[in-house]
Homo-oligomer: A and B are copies of this chain.
Amino acid sequence: MIIGANLPNMPWQDRPEGCKDPVWRYSNNPIVKRDQIPSANSIFNSAVVAKDGAFVGVFRSDDKCMEQHLFLAKSENAIDWDIEPDPLPLYNEKDECVGVACGYDPRVCWIEDRYYVTWCTQFEGYHGATIGVAYSYDFKKFYRLQDAFLPYNRNGVLFPKKINGKFMMFSRPSDNGHTPFGDMYLSESPDMEHWGYHHHVMNPTGWSWTKVGAGPIPIEIDEGWLLIFHGVGTTCNGMIYSIGAAILDKEQPWKVKYRCKPYILHPTEIYECVGDVPNVCFPCATLCDAETGRIAIYYGAADTVVALAFAQVDELVQYIKDNAM
């Protein structure tokens, strides 16, 4: 059902007995603690991919100055991560270093011949957050391209292949603060630097009545694209970030075939409810095994740590369809 590679060494735990939810947590969460590298105030909202039989990742760590950078990491089992102590340097196409990767909420996507990293960049000439883009052939040296969009924008998420000959990127237009609104859009590019044909994908509604944005790279399945996303509701004591799911049309992925009405994960554990930003589950990556249909979801918890959850693709797709809006 998943169209993609097999990944038999991805992390996995079977569904706990008695649990009927479509997604369940790893029993030893969080997998990355807030202080795993010396400079870190917190490590969360991070992206991982399989590479050469092992795993690599781009991690968000806010340091004790509350500055936000991206860090490379590697792991044999995708659970225990070895994170670089220094932020990721970026290069231009003349091979000159143009500084380290400042910003937050990275995603990583393999397209055709290279890895692309997209993240939310800020405070660099522009006067607001927007989507940074860089690529690497080897996950060692990263070349920075033009930022994708005008500010204010967040949550740029690429598709793992071109559609109709174009790159496709989700984003969530924002404002210059904590943004009490936000729809998910999809844009097209012939060259990864000029973007147009901006399609509206999803509006905030139901449990995600405040804002909604893409999460991990969409997973190609038989009947379209499986999208895991974050949605936000607001109480008198602040925002709650939960995780939702939908299935998009394969050729016109701005068309939502099924949007799951209930959330699929919500902050209930102490490491999700207590931390720098209470009540946050924010998904940034998945690992999938096409053969077994296993999905591992990596999500930031409470803007403080990295946690892991699991789903079985057939069950999750069925759940989305059974509970579609």
Contacts and interface: CB of A to CB of B under 8 A. Distances in A.
A279 B276 contact: yes
Nearest to A204: B127
A258 interface: no
Contacts of A125: 200
Contacts of A63: 262
A275 interface: yes
Q: Per DSSP, are chain A's interface residues mostly helix, strand or loop, or mixed?
A: loop
B65 A38 contact: no
Q: How large is the interface on A (under 10, 10 to 19, 20 to 34, 35 or more residues)?
A: 35 or more
A198 B273 contact: no
A283 interface: no
Given A65-B261, A237-B239, 4 more contacts: A128-B183, A149-B198, A150-B187, A274-B278
Interface in A120-134: 125-128, 130
A235 interface: yes
Contacts of A206: 65-67
A59 B89 CA distance: 49
Interface in A13-53: 20, 34, 38-39, 41
- Which of A127, A146, A240: most chain B Cβ within 10 A? A127
Report how many copies the assembly holds: 6
A149 B127 CA distance: 17
Interface in A178-205: 178, 181, 183, 185, 187-191, 193-198, 200, 203
A141 interface: no
Contact of A183 (B34, B67, B127, B187): B127
Nearest to A325: B65
B238 A238 contact: yes
A266 interface: yes
Contact of A273 (B194, B261, B275, B303): B275
Given A262-B64, A274-B273, A175 B178 contact: no
A63 to B, nearest CB: 7
Contact of A197 (B193, B268, B274): B193
A181 B128 CA distance: 11
8 contacts: A66-B263, A150-B173, A150-B185, A151-B173, A152-B173, A175-B175, A237-B278, A276-B279
Contacts of A238: 236-238
A235 B303 contact: yes
Interface in A63-85: 63-67
Contacts of A152: 173, 175
Interface in A263-282: 263, 266, 268, 270, 273-279
